[in-house]
Every structure is written in C-alpha cells, then in structure tokens.
C-alpha cells in the first residue's frame, strides 16, 4: 500500500493530465453524436470500471506472474455473481472503445474455466459463481445456452479484431468450435431457451439472431486460424439460417413491417432488436439493410404513443443496455436521439443509474451495474467501422500501389537501359570515326606522338617545348606499374600541345592547313575533347587488359614466414616486403 500511495503522488501531475485528455476525447466524440450522449458515457464509465478487478497470480516460487493478467467483473447486486457473461457482453462496448486488451483479460477466466474438468456442458457458462469474490462455479445446466455461447463467440472474435491479438482464437479453438456446433444444432429451434432478465422466451427472434451471428463469428474465427473447412461450413450454415430468419422474424403487415418478438407471433408483437448490434459490430452483413430501416420506422411509430420502450411487447421491463444497443443500429438521428433520451431520463430520475426497471411502477434494479458500459455502444461502433474502413482502404490500395511501383521501376529501368545503349552506340561510332581518322593499321599508335604534332607555322621554341612535354609524358608512362588517370593523361596531352587552344575554341581544319605527319592529318590537330577523352579511356582499358594477361602468365607470389630472429633481421625482412 505505501508503494501504491508513493506511485500515485509521484505520478499525480502526469496522471491528471492524461485523465483530462481522455475526458476531453470521450466528451468530444460523444458530443458529435448527440447532445445528451456525453452525460451517459460519463456516468457509465466509473460504474463499468468500478465493477471490475484486475488480478495477477503468484507462481510456485512466491513471485508475481505479471504476464498472467486476468480481469473479473461483479454483477453489482444482491446475487454477487462473478463475471456474468451477459453483463460482460453489455459492458463490452466500453472496453472495446477504451482498450480492447481489457476484453481479453475479461474473457480469459471464463475460457480457462471451460477447459477444466469442472464444466461438462456443450454450451458456455452463464457466470463463474455467485459468491464474489470467490469464483466457485459448479457444473450446473442453465437455459441460456444460445445466449451465452453466442455472446462468448462474438466477444472473442470482437476482441481479436480490435486488439489484433489472435492468441485466444488459437489457444481455445476446440472450445470455440464446440460452441459453434451447439449453435448450429439449436439456433433455429430455441424452444426452451431463455433471454437474460426475461426468462424463457420460446422461439425468440432475438435469441435466434444472436445464435446466427455467433455461427458466423465461428466461421471468421476458423478463417483466421487457418481452419478453412470449418470456416466454409459455418459460413454456409449462417447464410442458410439468415435466410430462414428473414422469412420468420418479420411481421406480415406490408405497410408496417417490423421484427416480431417470437417466430409465429401476431403482427402486433414486436421487440427491441438489440442483437442487430452484433451484426453491425462484426460487420457480418447477415441482415438485409432494409430491415434496419424498417425497424427504425417502427421505433418512431412506437414513440408516438409511448414515452419509453420496454424490451418487447409482452413485457414492461426496461433494459437500458438493450435500448442503447438498439440506438446504435437505427438509421435516423431523430429516432436515435429518442432512444438516448429515454436512457438519459432514466438516469436523471434515479440515484445510482440502474440498468433495469419496470415501466408500470417505475422501480429499478441493477444499481451501479457495469452493464452500463453499453452506453459506449455508439462510440465503439463508430471506432470499429472507422478501423474496418481504414483496413479495407489499405487493402484496396496495395494492388495499385504495388503495380505503380513495379511499373515505375520498369519504366525507369527501360529509360536507363535505352540511355546506356544510346551512349554505347555513340561511343562506338565515335571510336570508329576516330580510328578511321587516325588511319591505324590495326595497332594502337603511340599515346603521345599523334597528338604532339604541331602545325606548320609555329616557331622553333614552341616545337621544342612541345617535344619536351611529349618526352616527359612518354617517360612518365614508361615507368612500370604507373598508369595515370584519364584526366591526368588528357591534361598532359593538352600541356604537350596535342590540342591547341584553337581546338577548344572550335576552330576548323582550314585554319591549320592539310599537311600530315605520320598517320595523323595536320588538319585534325584541333581534335574535339570528347575524342581525346574516349581515346584515353580506350587506351586505359587496353593497358589494364594487357597487364592482366601478363599477370596470369607469372607465377603466383610466394610468402615466407618470418621466424624469430633478431631485430635487425626482422627490420630487413620488413623492408623487403615493403619493396615487394
């Protein structure tokens, strides 16, 4: 405890700044949705996080295992239930929006319990016991098999998508697939299945919808972990069940069509279609878009004669979590604001913001429940749709971007290749022209003599200076192992008089007459600089090739290991190696 107090005090300024920034972000995001929405998310935040405990375990050595993070949730009521699945499902939007990793921490205790010998049912548990903080669940059947199995599959996939962590999908795949099989066998015939807070609801349209989305979630899970056969099977079944659901769940009155409470009910029956939220959250697209519009119009009609909407037409039970999940599925802002306003009025009329109540006597239960995390349903849905849109946009641009890059590289490679060919061709033509003009006999002429010629009319001093420069250059080249650079040789040629100043000024042949010396035309003393540069480079290449050929004829060098000798002998050996 002292350590926790010290950490709090030392980090107070930074923590306060972070908290303010978080508050501002949530309030701004909520305000952009509806004016009355920020108050609801503010109230629900502290209730949701206040109903949880984050734990780590101790190892056999007595040290804390900080990698074993688990999170437990209390129903906050007289029953003291530990991690009730339907309450976690209601609070899920809160954790998805703020930190999806917490969703995994909440699911791990439930998943771990199922793989022990303490549970033998084919469906998911409804909680981990009713003696909080002791998780002492007994192996007892319950009538919430479709509801809780669907919830677990939907939340496990939702966590993986939002967090990018597929660990739970792989680790518990066998367990998850078992729940998928259970939903396949029971979803379209929920005769003796219950809905939370409402009890047995034979053939409930909402319960069946939860199961269908759960089956589709199992298909997505199979695809993620590479179980393609399972993915295809569950996907096909979900599509078949969805088609059947569309024909059974809608009323027959064409002008006022809506979702009825149970399969086969009269047209006057209706239900809050809160499980449409699961279809939108996971983007399963199992439900036709026109059904969302039909349901929105029907809500609007109900509000014309009712101040608040109960869970369905056969009950006066009000569930704020279901109202807010439904608010996230409507297609018109006016209806959305009516649903948000219903919950806001409920919060103002009670002291601890309960999530359950009765319209007949305005009594409420579920005080301060973390189920109010459902107030974040709209924020979580917006964040999910934005993330999915961003991922789809990135995926859709990968092909064009890659194609553009490859195409660009190919284009520039073609340009470079064409330039090299053009340059090579130009050099070849230049070399052929130069070779022709030099009138060689197949052997390369002297490096200096052809270019050291001075035209007639120069005085004796200039010819002597050119001759001295020429001999100096020849002597330099004649030294073994020394090959001047192209630039140095070109400068030496210029200094030797091989190119007159007139050459650089563009003088033509007529300015120098037409007499010849050796194989060089006197009229070509003003050789263009690029000719000289090419001539020097060709000669360089020839020298290098000749030296390589000569070296290949010589024996490889020999080395002697210098044994321990005196200092004088070692110094002599060092000098010999340096000379070599």
Q: CATH number for the domain including 101?
A: 1.50.10.10
| Among the listed residues 267, 264, 340, the one whose alpha carbon sits nearest the alpha carbon of residue 309 | 340
Residue 124 has pLDDT above 80, yes or no: yes
Whether residues 117 and 250 share a domain: the answer is yes
Q: How many CA atoms lie within 13 A of 104 on its CB side?
A: 19
Q: Is residue 559 part of a domain?
A: no
Distance of CA 95 to the CA centre of its chain: 21
- Residue 350 tokens read as 């009670």
Q: Which of 339, 363, 396 is the last residue of a domain?
A: 396
Cα–Cα distance between 211 and 219 in angstroms, integer?
13
- Whether 123 and 219 map to the same domain: the answer is yes
Burial state string for 376-390 with b = 16 or more CB within 10 A and e = fewer than 16: bbbbbbebbeeeeee
| Residue 381: partners with Cβ closer than 8 Å, 6 or more residues away | 93, 277, 280, 281, 328
pLDDT exceeds 50 at position 440: no
* pLDDT (average), residues 449-475: 43
* Residue where a domain terminates, one of 396, 423, 456: 396
Contact of 402 with 122, CB cutoff 8 Å = no
In a domain, 14, yes or no: no
Q: What is the pLDDT of residue 414?
A: 55
Residue 408 pLDDT exceeds 50: yes
Question: Which of the four pLDDT bands, split at 50, 70 and 90, describes residue 430?
Answer: low
Domain span holding position 499: 441-553
Cβ–Cβ under 8 Å, residues 218 and 177: yes
Long-range contacts of 397-400 (CB under 8 A, 24+ apart): none
CA distances in angstroms from 529 to 350, 427, 430, listed in the order given: 97, 13, 12
Distances (CA, A) of 530 to 207, 445, 486: 87, 18, 12
Average pLDDT, the chain: 79
Confidence check: pLDDT of 51 > 80: yes
Do both 342 and 459 map to the same domain? no
* Cβ–Cβ < 8 Å for 259, 291: yes
Same domain, 223 and 353: yes
- d(C-alpha 249, C-alpha 204), whole Å: 9
Name the β-bridge partners of 312. Answer: 271
Does any domain span residue 26? no
φ and ψ at 69, to 5 degrees? -95, 125
Identify whether 423 is part of a domain.
Answer: no
User: Exposed, middle or buried, 303 (CB in 10 Å: 0-12/13-18/19+)?
Assistant: middle
pLDDT digit string (tens) for 349-361?
887 888 888 887 7
| Alpha-carbon torsion (513, 516, 517, 523), positive or negative | positive
Q: What number is the average pLDDT over the span 106-119?
A: 95
Please tell me whether residues 215 and 360 are part of one structural domain.
yes
524 and 385 in a single domain? The answer is no
Q: Is residue 286 part of a domain?
A: yes
11 phi and psi, to 5 degrees?
Answer: -100, 10
Mean pLDDT of 127-146: 93
For residues 384 and 487, membership in a common domain is answered with no
Residues 54 and 155 in one domain: yes
**Mean local confidence (pLDDT), 380-404:** 64
Residue 375, C-beta contacts closer than 8 angstroms, at least 6 positions apart: 40, 41, 43, 44, 93, 94, 320, 324, 343
Give the number of other Cβ atoms within 10 Å of residue 367's Cβ.
16
Range from 89-98, 125-134, 471-480 carrying the lowest mean pLDDT: 471-480
The residue to which tokens 């300024």 are assigned: 13
Are 451 and 392 found together in one domain? no
Angle at CA of residue 256, ends 252 and 260, nearest 5°: 55
Cα atoms in the 13 Å half-sphere on the side-chain side of 110: 29
Q: Count how many domains the chain has.
A: 2
- With CA atoms as reference, report the closest residue to 319 among 233, 197, 420, 426: 197
Domain assignment present for residue 158? The answer is yes
312 phi, psi to nearest 5 deg = -160, 180
pLDDT of residue 402: 47
Same domain, 372 and 463: no
Q: How confident is the model at residue 358, as a pLDDT?
A: 87
**Least-confidence region, from 6-20, 117-131, 189-203, 420-434:** 420-434
Same domain, residue pair 382 and 488: no
Verify that 382 and 465 share a domain, yes or no. Answer: no
User: What's the pLDDT at 573?
Assistant: 41
Cβ(134)–Cβ(125) below 8 Å: no
Place of tokens 């930074």: 14
pTM for the complete prediction?
A: 0.68
> Where does a domain end: 372, 396, 420?
396
> In the prediction, which pLDDT does 279 show?
97
CB atoms within 10 A of CB 337: 18
- Please provide the distance, in angstroms rounded to a whole number, between the alpha carbons at the two ends of the chain: 79
537 within a domain of the structure (yes/no): yes
> Smallest Cα–Cα separation from 231: which of 299, 173, 279?
173
Among 83-97, 216-230, 540-554, 563-577, the least confident range: 563-577
| Residue 384: strand, helix, or coil | helix
178 has a pLDDT exceeding 70: yes
- 435 within domain boundaries: no
Given a cut of 50, is residue 560 above it in pLDDT?
Answer: no
């Amino acid at each position: 405890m002292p350590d926790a107090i010290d950490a709090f005090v030392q980090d107070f300024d930074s923590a306060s700044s972070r908290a303010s920034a978080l508050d501002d972000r949530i309030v701004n995001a909520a305000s952009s949705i509806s004016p009355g929405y920020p108050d609801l998310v503010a109230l629900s935040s502290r209730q949701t996080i206040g109903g949880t405990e984050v734990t780590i375990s101790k190892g056999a050595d007595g040290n804390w295992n900080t990698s074993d993070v688990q999170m437990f949730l209390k129903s906050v009521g007289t029953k003291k239930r530990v991690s009730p699945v339907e309450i976690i499902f209601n609070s899920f939007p809160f954790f998805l929006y703020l930190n999806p990793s917490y969703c995994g921490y909440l699911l791990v205790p439930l998943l771990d319990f199922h793989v022990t010998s303490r549970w033998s049912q084919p469906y998911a548990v409804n909680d981990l016991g009713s003696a909080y903080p002791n998780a002492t669940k007994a192996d007892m059947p319950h009538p919430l098999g479709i509801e809780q199995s669907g919830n677990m599959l939907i939340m496990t996939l939702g966590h993986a998508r939002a967090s990018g962590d597929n660990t739970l999908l792989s680790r518990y795949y066998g367990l998850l697939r078992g729940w998928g099989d259970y939903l396949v066998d029971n979803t379209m015939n929920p005769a003796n299945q219950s809905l939370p807070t409402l009890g047995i609801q034979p053939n409930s349209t909402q319960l069946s919808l939860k199961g269908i989305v759960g089956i589709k979630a199992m298909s997505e899970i199979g695809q993620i972990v590479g179980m393609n056969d399972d993915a295809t099977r569950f996907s096909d079944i979900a599509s078949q069940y969805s088609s059947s659901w569309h024909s059974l769940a809608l009323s027959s009155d064409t002008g006022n069509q809506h979702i009825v409470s149970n399969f086969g009910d009269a047209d006057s029956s209706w239900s809050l279609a809160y499980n449409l939220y699961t279809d939108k959250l996971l983007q399963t697209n199992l439900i036709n878009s026109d059904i969302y519009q039909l349901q929105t119009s029907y809500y609007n009609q109900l509000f014309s004669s009712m101040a608040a909407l109960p869970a369905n037409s056969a009950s006066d039970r009000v569930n704020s979590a279901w109202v807010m999940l439904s608010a996230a599925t409507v297609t018109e802002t006016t209806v959305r604001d009516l649903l948000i306003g219903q919950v806001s009025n409920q919060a103002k009329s009670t002291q601890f913001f309960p999530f359950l109540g009765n319209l007949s006597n305005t009594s409420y239960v579920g005080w301060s429940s973390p189920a109010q995390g459902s107030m974040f349903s709209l924020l979580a849905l917006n964040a999910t749709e934005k993330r999915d849109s961003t991922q789809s946009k990135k995926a859709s641009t990968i092909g064009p971007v890659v194609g553009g890059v490859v195409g660009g590289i190919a284009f520039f490679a073609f340009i470079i290749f064409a330039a090299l060919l053009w340059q090579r061709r130009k050099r070849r033509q230049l070399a052929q022209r130069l070779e022709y003009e030099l009138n060689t006999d197949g052997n390369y002429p002297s490096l200096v003599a052809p270019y050291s010629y001075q035209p007639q009319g120069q005085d004796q001093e200039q010819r002597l200076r050119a001759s001295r420069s020429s001999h100096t250059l020849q002597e330099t080249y004649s030294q073994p192992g020394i090959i001047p650079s192209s630039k140095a040789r070109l400068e030496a040629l210029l200094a030797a008089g091989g190119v007159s100043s007139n050459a650089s000024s563009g003088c033509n042949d007529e300015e120098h007459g037409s007499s010849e010396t050796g194989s060089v035309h006197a009229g070509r003393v003003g050789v263009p600089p690029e000719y000289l540069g090419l001539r020097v480079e060709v000669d360089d290449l020839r020298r290098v090739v000749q030296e390589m050929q000569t070296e290949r004829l010589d024996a490889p060098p020999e080395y002697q290991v210098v044994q321990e000798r005196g200092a004088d002998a070692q110094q002599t050996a060092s000098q010999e190696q340096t000379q070599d």
